[in-house]
């Protein structure tokens, strides 16, 4: 399965036309940014950097790829046959926070080589940033309790793997998705579903004790028993009877989770299972996670809302040509004014570390800043080769998200709808 056809056709027709008139070889800068955050969001989380760099290395056209393309002239086919990206890429590292107009990715090279990457870059960034941004809100809502990603079934089967990666980046503790475990080393978790309990049904009806005994025999007393298939109180009693007071955890997947968690905690304690943890799941989102803060919940399993970006399934990032042979270019159509010229960003902060502003300035013209500040972008690719020691590892990204959340002004962590946590100031070329 090659990646080069994960591309919109117009990139190849533009290539064809540009090769014909020679413009294909002009030096260009394309930038990826979001004009705004999803409605009411206060920050975004960059994710997908590592996936994009990997896809960039794989971005070649096989003979089979080329044979599938209709109507392209020979010069275009020849160009594609030899294609590899030879330009430079800079960008916000994996796990960095972003705000409106943050230049999260800058791609430099010939028009031909840059234009071909538009769709793939945007697909990866728009998906992964949407998931990581939603996940980070859940992480801050959970206040240190364990979060397990279990939404694979609610999204496309391959998107599920990327979603598990993005959730882990944002601070989730693990995933149900086995491929995410293999590909990205995300810890995998999971024990059983209602079907396993219901499987243990005989002529005399349901036999939850048999199901629990079978699970404990196979997985040990440290396992998590799902106690809400029939009746939670009976389920908890059956669970402790099967595993003893060393039972690892019980999971509740339905009903009023707060009430059930309190009742279950009391019941477990009464049964001597003081260390048995309580896992809750079932249509949780950042708001319901926060609402359970006062209840004795040890871990949350989150599915649908995570993999669908909790109301914002795409990050609305765009890939825009901003510079041609050193000349800033902009579009002038209604309501879509963009800012020409290659850009860099500085993030300023107070002495305490709390961030104060995102300053987007023309590349090479850094403004004079009195407050503490740092460059947000980093070199990702030089002359087509990944800058290896910069290549983002998930562990680094997890630290970066955690540090980023701590750096926000307090209102930036509010779950309610509001303005971006810090303002973005855009300095026009020549204005600094």
Q: 30-59: which residues touch a copy of itself (CB under 8 A)? A: 30, 55
Of 110-118, 285-293, 372-380, 392-400, which part binds a copy of itself (CB under 8 A)? 110-118
Q: Which of residues 147-166 bind a copy of itself (CB under 8 A)?
A: 150, 152-162
Q: How far apart are CA 135 and CA 171, in angstroms?
A: 8
Q: Which of residues 113-142 bind a copy of itself (CB under 8 A)?
A: 115, 118-120, 122-124, 126-127
Binding flag, residue 16, a copy of itself (CB under 8 A): yes
Of 223-231, 239-247, 273-281, 350-358, which part binds a copy of itself (CB under 8 A)? 223-231
- Ranges of beta strands (E only) in 325-406 are 327-328, 343-349, 355-362, 373-375, 378-382, 385-386
Q: How far apart are CA 195 and CA 95, in angstroms?
A: 37
The 3-state DSSP class for residue 97 equals strand
Q: Which of 29, 85, 101, 14 is nearest to 423 (CA)?
A: 101
Binding flag, residue 66, a copy of itself (CB under 8 A): no
Per DSSP bridges, beta strands 44-45 and 277-281 are unpaired
Query: Which one of residues 81, 222, 255, 419 is an interface residue with a copy of itself (CB under 8 A)?
Result: 255
Of 175-183, 344-352, 388-396, 414-422, which part binds a copy of itself (CB under 8 A)? 175-183
Q: Report the nearest approach of a copy of itself to the CB of residue 370 (Å).
A: 36
- Cβ proximity to a copy of itself: between 70 and 383 the closer is 70
Q: Which of residues 90-109 bind a copy of itself (CB under 8 A)?
A: none
Q: How far apart are CA 217 and CA 234, in angstroms?
A: 20
- Cβ proximity to a copy of itself: between 134 and 273 the closer is 134
Per-residue contact flags (x/-) with a copy of itself for residues 179 to 208, judged by CB under 8 A: x-xx-----xxxxxxxxx-xxxxxx--x--
Cβ atoms of residues 165 and 140 within 8 Å:
no
Q: How far apart are CA 160 and CA 150, in angstroms?
A: 9
Q: Which of residues 291-350 bind a copy of itself (CB under 8 A)?
A: 304, 307-309, 313-314, 316, 319-321, 324, 327, 329-336
Q: How far apart are CA 161 and CA 16, in angstroms?
A: 35
- Cβ proximity to a copy of itself: between 99 and 184 the closer is 184
Q: Which of residues 67-86 bind a copy of itself (CB under 8 A)?
A: 68-70, 73
Binding flag, residue 254, a copy of itself (CB under 8 A): yes
Binding flag, residue 10, a copy of itself (CB under 8 A): yes
DSSP notation for 257-319? HHHHHHHHHHHHHHTT-TT-EEEEESS--HHHHHHTTTS---EEEE-HHHHTGGG--S--EEE
């Amino acid at each position: 399965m090659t990646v080069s056809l994960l591309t919109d056709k117009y990139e190849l027709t533009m290539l064809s036309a540009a090769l014909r008139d020679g413009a294909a070889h002009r030096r260009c800068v394309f930038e990826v940014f979001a004009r705004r955050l999803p409605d009411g969001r206060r920050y975004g989380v960059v994710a997908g950097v590592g996936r994009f760099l990997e896809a960039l290395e794989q971005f070649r056209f096989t003979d089979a790829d080329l044979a599938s393309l209709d109507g392209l002239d020979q010069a275009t086919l020849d160009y594609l046959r030899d294609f590899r990206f030879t330009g430079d890429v800079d960008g916000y590292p994996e796990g960095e926070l972003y705000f409106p107009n943050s230049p999260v990715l800058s791609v430099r090279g010939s028009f031909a080589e840059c234009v071909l990457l538009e769709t793939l870059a945007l697909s990866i960034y728009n998906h992964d940033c949407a998931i990581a941004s939603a996940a980070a809100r859940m992480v801050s809502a959970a206040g240190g309790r364990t979060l397990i990603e279990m939404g694979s079934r609610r999204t496309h089967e391959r998107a599920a793997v990327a979603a598990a990666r993005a959730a882990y980046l944002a601070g989730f503790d693990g995933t149900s998705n086995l491929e995410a475990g293999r590909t990205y080393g995300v810890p995998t978790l999971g024990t059983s579903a209602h079907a396993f309990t219901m499987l243990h049904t005989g002529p005399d009806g349901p036999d939850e004790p048999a199901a629990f005994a079978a699970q404990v025999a196979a997985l040990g007393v440290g396992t998590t028993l799902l106690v809400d298939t029939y009746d939670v109180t009976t389920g908890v009693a059956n669970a402790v009877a099967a595993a003893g007071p060393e039972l690892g955890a019980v999971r509740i997947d339905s009903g009023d989770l707060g009430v059930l968690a309190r009742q279950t905690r009391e019941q477990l304690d009464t049964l001597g299972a003081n260390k048995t943890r309580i896992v809750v799941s079932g249509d949780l989102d950042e708001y319901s996670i926060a609402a359970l803060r006062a209840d004795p919940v040890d871990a949350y399993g989150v599915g649908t809302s995570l993999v669908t970006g909790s109301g914002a399934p795409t990050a609305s990032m765009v890939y825009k040509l901003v510079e041609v042979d050193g000349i800033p270019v902009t579009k002038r159509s209604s309501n879509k004014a963009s800012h020409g010229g290659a850009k860099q960003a500085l993030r300023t902060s107070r002495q305490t570390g709390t961030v104060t502003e995102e300053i987007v300035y023309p590349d090479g013209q850094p403004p004079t800043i009195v407050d503490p500040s740092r460059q947000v972008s980093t070199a990702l690719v030089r002359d087509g080769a990944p800058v290896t020691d910069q290549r983002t590892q998930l562990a680094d990204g997890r630290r970066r998200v955690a540090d980023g959340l701590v750096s926000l002004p307090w209102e930036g962590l509010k779950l309610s709808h509001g303005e971006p946590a810090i303002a973005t100031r855009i300095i026009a070329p020549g204005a600094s």
